[in-house]
Amino acid sequence: MDIDNLVRMANRIGDYFAAYPDQAEAQAAIAKHIQMFWTPQMRRELLACVAQGSEGGETHGLHTLVADAARKHLAQPATTGG
Amino acid sequence: MTIFREPDYGTPKRTSSEMVTLVIDGDSVTVPAGTSVMRAAELAGTRIPKLCATDSLEPFGSCRLCLVEIEGRRGYPASCTTPVEAGMVVRTQSAKLAELRRGVMELYISDHPLDCLTCSANGNCELQDMAGVVGLREVRYGMEGRNHFDKASAVAPDVSNPYFAYDPAKCIVCNRCVRACEEIQGTFALTISGRGFDSRVAAGTNQPFLESECVSCGACVQACPTATLMEKSVIQMGQAEKSLITTCAYCGVGCSFKAEVKGNEVVRMVPHKDGKANMGHSCVKGRFAWGYATHPDRITTPMIRNTIDEPWRKVSWEEAINHAANEFRAIQAKYGRGAVGGITSSRCTNEETYLVQKLVRAAFGNNNVDTCARVCHSPTGYGLKQTLGESAGTQTFESVLQADVVMVIGANPTEGHPVFGSLLKRRLREGAKLIVIDPRSIELVKTPHVQADYHLKLMPGTNVAIANALAHVIVTEGLANEAFVAERCEDAAFRQWKEFVSRPENAPEATAAITGVPAEAVRGAARLYATAGNGAIYYGLGVTEHSQGSTMVMAIANLAMVTGNVGRMGVGVNPLRGQNNVQGSCDMGSFPHELPGYRHVSDSTTRGLFEAAWGVSIDPEPGLRIPNMFEAALDGSFLGIYIEGEDIAQSDPNTQHVEAALRRMECVVVQDIFLNETAKYAHVFLPGASFLEKDGTFTNAERRISRVRKVMPPLAGMADWEVTCALSKALGYPMDYAHPSEIMDEIARLTPTFHGVSFDKIDALGSIQWPCNDEAPDGTPIMHVDHFVRGKGRFMLTAYVPTDERANKRYPLLLTTGRILSQYNVGAQTRRTANVVWHAEDRLEIHPHDAEERGIADGDWVGVASRAGDTVLRATVTGRVQPGVVYTTFHFPESGANVITTDNSDWATNCPEYKVTAVQVVKVSQPSDWQQRHRDFSARQQAYLKGQRQPGKDRVDA
Ligand code: SF4
Ligand code: SF4
Ligand code: SF4
Ligand code: FES
């Protein structure tokens, strides 16, 4: 899917949870939200973008809070299903 | 079956803890204090003749037909206006009373045409009945005196309203219509003009009905005891033979109707007096705009085609369904199991919606199912679940009658939910306070006998800032209901929230710069809501359809919790649902992450339950949401879709994006009653059935499950649930049901909140509000009474995050959208009725200031452009909108309102941000490019419907 769009959606989720003073809580909540509502394919693409960012590549503007949340809490989905 | 007439007790029911016993015609009767003698008599089985009284209206005491004798009292008091007293001894029949009543009737009849045999009310006329009851045999005054009906004096009937006629010659000036318009509808369109003999009913300022402020709700027609105000359909077809109780298929009020029929033809739809959602009232849509069901545009034969650039081919049901199934299976074989999905609609019954998600989950084998609630109330589902624990409104509609202060946020009840709007207005006339939070001056802000105490006219997109400011005032001024919060809510979350809203950036003085609302007004409104007694919040799509829709829903729940306004009559959090079955379609598991009853697909216990019942394994991962489906289609990974009753090409934002996605798909199957905009992109068309053609249930905004009953056979031969079953069977997953009631039985078995629901039970109780199970066998009118569904209520933080859609140099105005009373959503139904006399086109409302700056005059054609696209509409220059804001409705496809709206969406649910689009408006002289293309494309698709190919124009993209 259009990665810019996915990043925009992820950042918006991040914007909401950023209000929570406890960063760890916010990150866990961001990851949980994405886990609950995004398809495996969308999560895979987001994780790929995060990984790319970790290696100094293009992040498409993904906020650090969201990238950290994904790195820490978002598991690579099994390959089954779309 | 015969026609069902509800008893009329003459005067409204009174409730009182004090009971009064009296004697009527020798029998002892006990009734609540305040009851009229007339009602008491009727309850005891004694009918007193009456004309000006009816139990939907307060008594008026003008006809003098209901006279009785009361021991110890002089004269003959009117029983309708006389309240019962303890020990009263009443006589309803005597020689003297009979003589007096005959005298009254004689006077009436002497000025009434004696054409009963040819009158449209023949067989259903109270005047006729009363003449019979009092034994009128002659009219001593003759019929030649001064009158209103003979050739010389009769005034021509007013037939300006498309649905009912007013024939003053038959009027007995009983005032029932005037009172109905005031008390029930709250429009005050009617008066009695003139005096004595000259008095007659007048609409507006003696205007034809159509030109007056009449909103055609039909309450006056219903109240009229004679043929004076009469449905044109009855005038044309005569009185019906039988009646059935069913539910309106338009808005989320879910009015109960008596469909009066002759054979298979509807004669009229009459609001059902015992319907608990509407209590005998209706609006112009449900009452009159049902003619679309038999409109010639209905498609009644299945059709298929290979590409959308070729004519349709009419085929048998079998061929169409097999073709669709083969296509879906081929796409899955080629691109994977997840390459297909389905969309259900809030216009479908619960049973139909349930079947579509079952087909997607069991036969397609994925979770790619979504419903149109995605684009309206998905944030309600999310936000209320997070805070209160259940994705539903907390009250009954009737609850508003006990509210002391009502806050209406981003909703326009008198247009969008008219019957609730009337109920609300009634409560406001009784003295309840009103706070309106809306960028526009909606009707409620100022309407006869109603004026908002506060109208917080905020800039679109700043709801959350206002809600936080309200909370700030409540918390910092010590107005919180600490006892309620301590007992009912999570402490840590509350303390965190309290700290958050108390911050200076949430003070109304600080948010004023964002919202444009003066701090004093916000402070006043907050104090009023927190301290006036029962506080009830009603909200609509002006809350949900924002990038912070879910945040705002949670902010609303926070406000209700912090003031203790949850869990009893008169309070609560009340989402006004757009369509009749928004609540139901969400309940039925049509979201891609949830099984029926709002249980996440990753929950293995729930999955196990459904897997055992369905005999398949269910994908534990969430599927695609509607906007994700479009993205995936453009990606080439989602290529087949089964759409039941939904018109995404018109109703979803960024039309050109949607059209491109649809064009990309290999198999689009549309099941609908008309060739809607989406069907123009379809490869298989399966003709659907209207609500008059099927059995099932709808669940309204109060969680009330009501029956939809079949009054005529499906025009295309199959009901929608049967079509889904057939498609599933062709896909190799047979579903066997003999009747929709069996589908409901399955839902009840598998869903804890529905355990007690069945068609039989609904028939017995009239309607049921879920949860309905062992703990609540008769349903649950008010939720969260002793504790929240999630245990303790949870305050959620709601920081204001401005939307990306901001006014800028290029697009300096903010467009917001809404609907109008007479038209319904995409308009596919109402545009095909006489309702177009009220609203034949979508217009752009623009403030005089902004109009002048652009040289725009009322009625000019204006181009409206956003970053997504542009369209052309006619301008209405009005102060209803504030400077910097423009507004339009979206009922006509050619308006292209959604060509302009963007794909910005709610962070939690992807509900599109319809309510805020940055636009520029300029005066133009011709339609937009999109409109021209759309016109060509539509003409071409219409031709394909007739099986023609237009020469020379082989492919026209819209
Ligand atoms: S139709 Fe409704 S609004 Fe119109 S006059 Fe009658 S009661 Fe009033
Ligand atoms: S129009 Fe009907 S309801 Fe109204 S005053 Fe005349 S008879 Fe009564
Ligand atoms: S559209 Fe809504 S208010 Fe009007 S009759 Fe139907 S359910 Fe009732
Ligand atoms: S019915 Fe009582 S005065 Fe008319």
Q: Is the pLDDT of residue B667 over 60?
A: yes
Q: Which helix (H) or strand (E) holds B470?
A: helix B463-476
Could you tell me the sign of the dihedral formed by the alpha carbons of B688, B694, B699, B700, in that order? positive
User: Residue B161 has what pLDDT?
Assistant: 95
End-to-end Cα distance, chain A? 12
Query: Which residue's CA lies nearest to atom 1 of ligand 4?
Result: B50
Ligand 4 neighbour B65 (Cβ under 6 A): yes
Q: Which residue of A has its CA nearest to B464?
A: A16
**Alpha carbons B845 and B84: distance in angstroms, whole number:** 54
- The string of DSSP letters for B492-524 reads HHHHHHHHHHHSGGGSHHHHHHHH---HHHHHH
Q: From its phi and psi, is residue B827 left (phi > 0), alpha (psi between -120 and 50) or beta?
A: left
B637 pLDDT higher than 70: yes
Name which of B336, B621, B631 is nearest A5 (Cβ-Cβ).
Answer: B631
Which chain A residue's Cα is nearest to B634? A1
CA angle B382, B383, B387 (to 5 degrees): 120
Cα of B228 from ligand 4 centre, angstroms: 18
Q: What's the pLDDT at B932?
A: 86
Token pair for residue B796?
Answer: 């959620």
In this prediction, residue B652 carries a pLDDT of 82
Is the CB of A36 inside 8 Å of chain B's CB atoms?
yes
- Write down the pLDDT at residue A79: 57
Structure pTM?
0.92
- C-alpha B770 chain-centroid distance: 19
All residues of chain A having their beta carbon less than 8 Å from the beta carbon of residue B622 are 36-39
Put simply, the answer to whether B366 touches A38 (Cβ < 8 Å) is no
**Closest Cα of chain B to A6: distance in Å?**
10
Task: Report chain B's mean pLDDT, rounded to a whole number.
Answer: 92
B874 touches ligand 4 (CB under 6 Å)? no
Chain B residues near residue A5 by CB distance under 8 angstroms: 631, 903
Tell me the pLDDT tens digit for each residue of B600-630.
Answer: 999 999 999 999 999 999 999 999 999 999 9
Q: Which atom of ligand 1 is nearest to the CA of B219?
A: 7
User: What pLDDT was estimated at residue B950?
Assistant: 54
| Interface with B, mutate which of A2, A8, A37 (most B CBs under 10 A) | A37
- What mean pLDDT is predicted for residues B761-790? 92
pLDDT of residue B825: 67
Greatest CA separation for chain B = 93
Predicted local confidence at residue B955, as pLDDT: 44
Would you state the pLDDT for residue A81?
A: 46
Determine if ligand 2 sits within 6 Å of the CB of residue B172.
yes
A25 touches B at CB < 8 Å: no
B720-730 and B317-335 helices, crossing angle to 10° = 50
Structure confidence by residue, pLDDT tens digits, B125-137: 999 999 888 888 8
For ligand 4, atom 3: residue with the closest CA: B61
Non-local (6+) Cβ contacts of B615 within 8 A are none
Whether the predicted pLDDT of A53 surpasses 70:
yes
Contact A13 B907 (CB under 8 A): yes
Find the CB nearest B623 among A12, A13, A39. Answer: A39
A12, A13, A82 member nearest B637 (Cβ)? A82
Asked if A41 reaches chain B (Cβ–Cβ under 8 Å), the answer is yes
Contact assessment for residue B508 and residue B522, using Cβ atoms and an 8 Å cutoff: yes
Under 8 Å between Cβ of B557 and B388: yes
Provide the pLDDT for residue B585. 85
Strands B704-708 and B768-769: antiparallel
Q: What is the pLDDT of residue B948?
A: 65
| Whole-number percent of chain B with pLDDT over 90 | 73
- What's the length of chain B? 958
Of A21, A37, A81, the CB nearest to B619: A81
Q: How confident is the model at residue B954 (pLDDT cuts 50, 70, 90)?
A: very low
The answer for residues whose C-beta is within 8 angstroms of residue A48's C-beta and 6 or more apart is: none
The alpha carbon of B936 and the centre of ligand 3 are apart by a number of angstroms equal to 35
Span B437-450, average pLDDT: 91
B369-371 and B405-409 as β-strands: parallel, antiparallel, unpaired?
Answer: unpaired
**pLDDT tens across B899-947, in order?**
888 888 889 888 888 888 999 999 988 888 888 888 888 889 988 988 7
From CA B626, how far away is CA B648, in angstroms rounded?
9
* Distance, CA of B856 to CA of B196 (rounded, Å): 50
Q: Is the pLDDT at B738 greater than 70, yes or no?
A: yes
Contact state of B908 with A13 under an 8 Å Cβ cutoff: yes
- Structure confidence at residue B655 as a pLDDT band (50, 70, 90): confident
Rounded to 5°, angle at Cα B48 from B42 and B51: 115
For residues B915 and B351, which has the higher predicted lDDT (pLDDT)?
Answer: B351
Does B952 score more than 60 pLDDT? Answer: no
Average pLDDT of the segment spanning B103-109: 89
Residues in chain A: 82
8 Å CB contact of A16 and B801: yes
pLDDT given at position B134? 85
Residues 6+ apart with CB under 8 A from B129: none
Rounded Cα distance between A14 and B194, Å, is 67
d(CA B375, CA B363): 26
Going by their DSSP bridges, the two strands B572-575 and B450-451 should be labelled as unpaired
Residue B236 pLDDT grade (very low, low, confident, very high; cuts 50, 70, 90): very high
> What's the 3-state SS for B253-319?
CCCEEEEEEECCEEEEEEECCCCCCCCCCCCHHHHHCCHHHHCCCCCCCCEECCCCCCCCEECCHHH
pLDDT computed for residue B805 by the predictor: 85
Note the Cα B363 to chain centre separation in Å: 33
Instruction: Give dist(CA B322, CA B334) in Å, integer.
Output: 18
pLDDT (0 to 100) of residue B135: 86
Cβ of B229 closer than 6 Å to ligand 2, yes or no, is: yes
Inform me whether the pLDDT recorded for B824 exceeds 70. Answer: no
Residue with CA closest to ligand 1 atom 5: B214
Q: Is B780 in the pocket of ligand 3 (CB under 6 A)?
A: no
* B884 and B816 Cβ atoms separated by less than 8 Å: no
Asked if residue B190 has its Cβ within 6 Å of ligand 2, the reply is no
CB atoms within 10 A of CB B312: 24
A37: closest CA of chain B, how far (Å): 6
For residues B409 and B52, give the distance between their C-alpha atoms in angstroms, rounded to a whole number.
Answer: 39
